[in-house]
Chain A
Amino acid sequence: MARALLPLALVGAFLIVAPPFLDLGWQNALINILIASLFALAFNLLAGQAGLLSFGHAAYFGVGAFAALHLMARIEDGLGFPTPLLPLAGAAAGLLIGLVAGFFATMRSGVYFALVTLAIAELFHSLAPHWQGVFGGEAGLSSMRMPWGGLIFGSLIEVYYLTLAWVALSILLLWGLTRTPFGRLALALRDNEQRVRFLGYNAHITKVIIFAISAMFSGVAGALQAISNETANYVLFASGVSAQVVLYTFVGGATIFFGPVVGAVIFTLFAYLVSDLTRSWLLYQGLIFVLVMLYAPNGLGGLIHQHLRHRGQLDWSRLARPYAQATLGSLLVAAAAIFLIETLAVVFSRDYAVARRDAGGGFPAYEVFGLNWTPLSPVPWLLPLALFAAGLWLILQARHPIGTLWQRVRAGSEPDVNPS
């Protein structure tokens, strides 16, 4: 526990001290990263800790956002409610809707549970654009942040610190929850619901409470987004939003507490850095997700955790070379894939179709990564192929030694946890 505190303290220090010196784009990105992390942690309370996979969590994020906006509108009209406490509206809305939705959803389990949560989110998504009063119809709601307590809340950096405070508080509470009897109960529920019942616990009520708490913190995240953007509309209820939080959580790792944060940071950062460089960034996101699902079922966070847990037993000197090989190999494969995808993106683009027409139906040169290529020459196709082959070869070389070294660790100590 104490070992974990140092990196946490460093991150915390960075988050507190650095932002005023960063440009607006980065400040905004950090706000989004914080909100995404909170949403993912809230989601994981249900998914990773209690084992209930929800595919409609956008519903609670969304109601939190709208609740905050309604309160903001009241404050604009003169209500003396402190602006910094706005996320409470999101918490309250999330909790309330979560209780009702959770009561019904947890009547079912597994796939059926997932479908109920999906249906609930779609209910909101399809209803909101037609409900002017509550959701502002298709245009949605907008409201300004009002000054309070000497702070104007007009600048991004103020919004950042507000977000940071609430996210930090929420993470603290969620962490504390895992230490309470209820938190242990949630874990037990994930492992063996039946036994929990026979020990005298009402499993349904337990699940409803977990659902409600998860929805509450999702509502806080939604409220923070509404405060930051000063607007929200029915699009917040879309399946894409629910999908994103699932992606973050499972790429990061659902089985450890900070796993979802890892995923949220990676993807939000990725979106911020890469979305300007290429139109295919969502494709990359999907590919990363599928690769993690296939080869690191406990997520990247789980992978890190595994290494930390066994760091005393791993033969690092022997691992260094195959790990370096595997990393280099992966980089080559990634480079090949990126090159190929970017090439295809250019070759299939409308601009290129126009260029072809202008060239009388031929295949003119195009530009990728600042260099010119022609589609008819074998080079732009052989290059990714070569990179891919080289990368794959390296990975396969490294596979066996890595496998054997881990085998030894497993045989020598307690077996690792089965994923999922």
Chain B
Amino acid sequence: MEFYLISTLNGVIYGLLLFMVSAGLTLIFGMMGVLNFAHASFYMLGAYVAYAVSSAAGFWVGLLVAPAFVGIVGMLVERFLLRRVHAFGHAHELLLTFGLALIVEEAVKLVFGDFPVNYQMADTLRFAAFTVYGTDYPFYRVFMGIVAIVMFVALWLLLSRTRIGIVVRAAERLPQMAEALGHNIPVVFTSVFGAGAALAGLAGAVAGAFYPTNPNMALELGVIVFVVVVVGGLGSLQGSLLASLLIGLFSSFAVGIDWSAADLLALVGLGDWARTMGGLMTMQVSSISATIPFALMLLVLLVRPAGLMGERG
């Protein structure tokens, strides 16, 4: 029981963290058709900037400055780099973000070193939220979840209830029409890209104080974020949330599951045969917990590319 409760809590929170990063990515893709390979780099940048700032001015200042900084970087990237390459086609846009991811990773290593840094949360947040079966559950985990939820609500309200949101959604559907109606579409694109980057930066600033902040962060999270946006549906915010929670919960639970295909086949009497086959049959779910999300991603791409909640075509 303890396992289920803790796994659920951890899974939900990890899922919410994934959502914070993937929200920006899916919005950017939905609007501009650009799959930003550098998105996880914004996440990493957020963590490192928060670390740098917090070392001098405290955790909370770092938490505020990091997303702002990353957001500005995002806007500059869109305005001066992406836009330039836009004329050469989608492939070149993809490639450019690809190159950017490389540069950000190396630049971080250059300044901060090729090893983890000691980014610490504020002492005021370092307490137990509650006790579960004798173990203290850290409040900071809950804090991460709260930030993610607040972010989702704020985003949703912004997009659905405000004028800005309407313009953004119009620009996503019919950019030329929106432009003809007088809206400055290039500015909208730049802002959305910057906002998406800022969100990822915030996620990094928040997560980096709990999980290790190291130069591999972007790579580790990067591929999972792609799985999330694909499964959720490229362009769909709700889909992203759903898929993030799904993957978060799965990752959390899978680590503790020791079944293998052979165990399943044992239920129908083929256990021994499966065990002699070896290989894939005897691999435990816990071992291949990293593989299953990619299998899911493949399945979704091939069977229903719109994902859980995306739109067809």
Residues of A whose CB lies within 8 Å of any CB of B are 53, 104, 107-108, 110-112, 114-116, 118-120, 122-123, 126-127, 130-131, 133-134, 239, 243, 246-247, 250, 279-280, 282-283, 285-287, 289-290, 293-294, 297, 341, 344-345, 348-350, 419-420
Residues of B whose CB lies within 8 Å of any CB of A are 29, 33, 35, 81, 84-85, 88-92, 94-96, 98-100, 102-103, 106-107, 109-114, 219, 223, 226-227, 230, 234, 278-280, 283, 287-288, 290-291, 294-295, 297-298, 301-302, 305
CB of B110 within 8 A of CB of A280, answer yes
CB of B98 within 8 A of CB of A246, answer yes
Q: Could you say which residues of chain A place their CB within 8 Å of the CB of B106?
A: 280, 282-283, 286
CB of A126 within 8 A of CB of B294, answer yes
* CB proximity of A259 to chain B, nearest CB, Å: 14
Q: Could you say which residues of chain A place their CB within 8 Å of the CB of B109?
A: 283
Closest to B102 in A: A286
CB of A287 within 8 A of CB of B103, answer yes
Known contacts A119-B298, A348-B112; is-contact A283 B103 (Cβ 8 Å): yes
A122 and B219 CA atoms in complex are apart in Å by: 12
CB of A290 within 8 A of CB of B96, answer yes
CB of A283 within 8 A of CB of B92, answer no
A53, A127, A250: which contacts B291 (Cβ < 8 A)?
A127
Q: A133-B278, A289-B99, A348-B112 are in contact. List 18 more A-B contacts (CB 8 A).
A: A108-B301, A115-B297, A120-B298, A123-B291, A126-B294, A127-B288, A130-B288, A243-B98, A243-B102, A250-B95, A282-B102, A283-B102, A286-B103, A287-B103, A290-B96, A293-B85, A341-B110, A344-B110
Q: Could you say which residues of chain B place their CB within 8 Å of the CB of A243?
A: 98, 102
CB of B88 within 8 A of CB of A297, answer yes
CB of B301 within 8 A of CB of A131, answer no
Known contacts A53-B91, A112-B301, A130-B287; is-contact A349 B99 (Cβ 8 Å): no
Q: Could you say which residues of chain B place their CB within 8 Å of the CB of A239?
A: 219, 223
CB of B81 within 8 A of CB of A290, answer yes
* CB proximity of A132 to chain B, nearest CB, Å: 8
Known contacts A114-B94, A126-B291; is-contact A294 B110 (Cβ 8 Å): no
Q: Could you say which residues of chain B place their CB within 8 Å of the CB of A283?
A: 102-103, 106-107, 109-110
Q: Could you say which residues of chain A place their CB within 8 Å of the CB of B234?
A: 111
CB of A119 within 8 A of CB of B95, answer no
CB of A285 within 8 A of CB of B305, answer no
CB of B99 within 8 A of CB of A290, answer yes
Q: Could you say which residues of chain A place their CB within 8 Å of the CB of B90?
A: 110-111
Q: Could you say which residues of chain A place their CB within 8 Å of the CB of B81?
A: 290, 294
B85, B112, B287, B302: which contacts A294 (Cβ < 8 A)?
B85
Q: Could you say which residues of chain A place their CB within 8 Å of the CB of B103?
A: 283, 286-287, 290
A111 and B98 CA atoms in complex are apart in Å by: 13
* CB proximity of B50 to chain A, nearest CB, Å: 18
CB of B219 within 8 A of CB of A119, answer no
B94, B295, B297: which contacts A111 (Cβ < 8 A)?
B94
A279 and B91 CA atoms in complex are apart in Å by: 30
Q: Could you say which residues of chain A place their CB within 8 Å of the CB of B291?
A: 123, 126-127, 130
CB of B88 within 8 A of CB of A420, answer yes
Q: Could you say which residues of chain A place their CB within 8 Å of the CB of B111?
A: 344, 348
Q: How many A-B residue pairs have CB under 8 A?
A: 121
A293 and B80 CA atoms in complex are apart in Å by: 13
Q: Could you say which residues of chain B place their CB within 8 Å of the CB of A246?
A: 95, 98
* CB proximity of A352 to chain B, nearest CB, Å: 11
CB of B35 within 8 A of CB of A123, answer no
A239 and B221 CA atoms in complex are apart in Å by: 13
CB of B226 within 8 A of CB of A115, answer yes
CB of A293 within 8 A of CB of B95, answer yes
Which of A279, A290, A345 is most buried by chain B, counting CB atoms within 10 A of its CB? A290
* CB proximity of A141 to chain B, nearest CB, Å: 15
CB of B294 within 8 A of CB of A122, answer yes
Q: Could you say which residues of chain A place their CB within 8 Å of the CB of B295?
A: 123
CB of B298 within 8 A of CB of A104, answer yes
Closest 7 CB pairs of A and B: A283-B106, A286-B102, A420-B89, A126-B290, A286-B103, A290-B99, A126-B291
CB of A115 within 8 A of CB of B230, answer yes
* CB proximity of B134 to chain A, nearest CB, Å: 33
A167 and B35 CA atoms in complex are apart in Å by: 34
A107, A108, A123, A250: which contacts B294 (Cβ < 8 A)?
A123
A-B contact pairs, 14 of them (CB 8 A): A53-B91, A53-B94, A108-B301, A111-B234, A115-B297, A118-B223, A123-B298, A126-B288, A130-B288, A250-B95, A279-B114, A290-B99, A290-B103, A420-B88
Closest to B287 in A: A130
* CB proximity of A180 to chain B, nearest CB, Å: 25
* CB proximity of B143 to chain A, nearest CB, Å: 30
CB of B283 within 8 A of CB of A130, answer yes
Which of B99, B102, B230, B302 is most buried by chain A, counting CB atoms within 10 A of its CB? B99
A120 and B107 CA atoms in complex are apart in Å by: 29
Closest to B295 in A: A123
CB of B302 within 8 A of CB of A116, answer yes
A286 and B29 CA atoms in complex are apart in Å by: 23
A250 and B106 CA atoms in complex are apart in Å by: 20
CB of A131 within 8 A of CB of B110, answer no
CB of A297 within 8 A of CB of B85, answer yes
Closest to A101 in B: B298
A286 and B107 CA atoms in complex are apart in Å by: 10
A285 and B106 CA atoms in complex are apart in Å by: 10
A243 and B18 CA atoms in complex are apart in Å by: 23
* CB proximity of A135 to chain B, nearest CB, Å: 10
Q: Could you say which residues of chain A place their CB within 8 Å of the CB of B33?
A: 111
Q: Could you say which residues of chain A place their CB within 8 Å of the CB of B279?
A: 131, 133-134
* CB proximity of B103 to chain A, nearest CB, Å: 4
* CB proximity of A253 to chain B, nearest CB, Å: 13
Q: Could you say which residues of chain B place their CB within 8 Å of the CB of A348?
A: 110-113
* CB proximity of B225 to chain A, nearest CB, Å: 12
* CB proximity of A284 to chain B, nearest CB, Å: 9
A134 and B280 CA atoms in complex are apart in Å by: 10
Q: Could you say which residues of chain B place their CB within 8 Å of the CB of A287?
A: 103
Closest to A118 in B: B226
